[in-house]
Amino acid sequence: MKSIFDFTAKQMSDAFEEIGERPFRAKQVYEWLYTKDVHDFDEMTNLSKDLRAKLKATFASHYLDIVEKQVSKDGTTKYLLRLEDGGLIETVLMIHPYGKSLCVTSQLGCNMGCKFCASGLLKKQRNLTSGEMVNQVMTVSHDLKERISHVVIMGTGEPFDNYDNVMNFIYTINEPKGLAIGARHISVSTCGLIPGINKFSNEGLQVNLAISLHAPNDEIRSRLMPINNTYNMDDLRVAISNYIDKTNRRVTLEYILLKGINDEVTHARMLAHYLRGLNVYVNLIPYNTVIENGLEKASDRKIQAFKDELIRLHINCTLRKEHGGDIDGACGQLRAKREGRMTDNEN
């Protein structure tokens, strides 16, 4: 049964016409779902009993099951959610001064194989539907009894490997008469799938693009990220430049600092040289250790020296505040532990 959350406003209107209902009924349902936080068709009191019965027989509307919830002392909350087919996914709520941000998962497992990532411990089983992504937002918002103000598609999976569903998700949560999450409050992160970056540049959206770089040269990046063997850093730089030229939007580059691998001042200089002339900023990320991967977080001293060198070389950069360090905070940790692929002492 198709989920009611799979539809953008326009798609829902079309779907209602297909079952013999007038489009304004779709608008009523959309309002119940996204502005009134009501997902039970029986509680949609301005619909006839016959229509409610038809909707129950045609569409699924329940929220996802919350299997486990871990709450950090900094307010970060990691949810382990169960999908309709029994698959387990994670989504993470982060509290910022500017609002509540949700990190959404786009695939059940991941095939990108990044060496530092817990998500890759469990291989991709399938893409999530747009409705399963929307439902992560709805489930957490309902649990909180508060509105989610920002969404980052940076959870398990590669968003551009599930392009159409991810775009449908973005258009749904951005709908002004629905959740109305502003485009500039939505970010999508890719490990560097160039065809996806090129396609995304034509969407005409103000959505933020982040690219996982994590290395200053091909040798290190190929060790950390197998995708670099398909789309190397020179090609990626061209794609980034073309994206900026076409959209006039700045790109975020994510860089996890790993002890003894990419954390030296010389690496910062290589990175600055690579980025010269691009409208980007670098988001430096302290590593949330995953013991199975054999990688360690760079020291605070190395992290600060790396940041200082980028600033000296006129590269805009920030140091991400650590979230969820006292829980299974890294992407994929909680699910992998539940599936028996991790030990119990990651942090």
> Beta strands of the chain (E only): which ranges?
2-3, 59-60, 65-71, 77-82, 88-96, 99-103, 107-108, 126-127, 150-153, 186-190, 208-212, 251-257, 280-286, 317-319
Measured distance CA(215)–CA(268) in Å, rounded: 9
Measured distance CA(43)–CA(28) in Å, rounded: 12
Measured distance CA(242)–CA(234) in Å, rounded: 13
Measured distance CA(117)–CA(137) in Å, rounded: 23
Q: Is 217 assigned to a binding site?
A: no
Do 178 and 33 touch, CB atoms closer than 8 A? yes
Q: Is 191 assigned to a binding site?
A: no
177 burial via Cβ count (<10 Å: 0-12, 13-18, 19+): exposed
The type of residue at 248 is: N
Q: Which of 21, 90, 309, 346 is catalytic?
A: 90
Q: Is 102 assigned to a binding site?
A: no
Do 257 and 297 touch, CB atoms closer than 8 A? yes
Is residue 103 among the annotated active site residues? no
Q: Is 201 assigned to a binding site?
A: no
Q: Is 332 assigned to a binding site?
A: no
Angle between helices 265-275 and 300-312 (to 10 degrees): 40
Q: Which of 103, 191, 317, 331 is catalytic?
A: 331
CA 218 to chain centre: 25
Q: Is 103 assigned to a binding site?
A: no
Q: Is 317 assigned to a binding site?
A: no
Measured distance CA(165)–CA(248) in Å, rounded: 25
- φ, ψ (nearest 5 deg) of residue 9: -60, -45
Is residue 90 among the annotated active site residues? yes
| 3-class state of residue 284 by DSSP | strand
Q: Is 323 assigned to a binding site?
A: no
Binding residue positions: 110, 114, 117, 157-158, 189, 212-214, 288
List residues with catalytic annotation.
90, 331
Binding residue positions for S-adenosyl-L-methionine: 157-158, 189, 212-214, 288
Binding residue positions for [4Fe-4S] cluster: 110, 114, 117
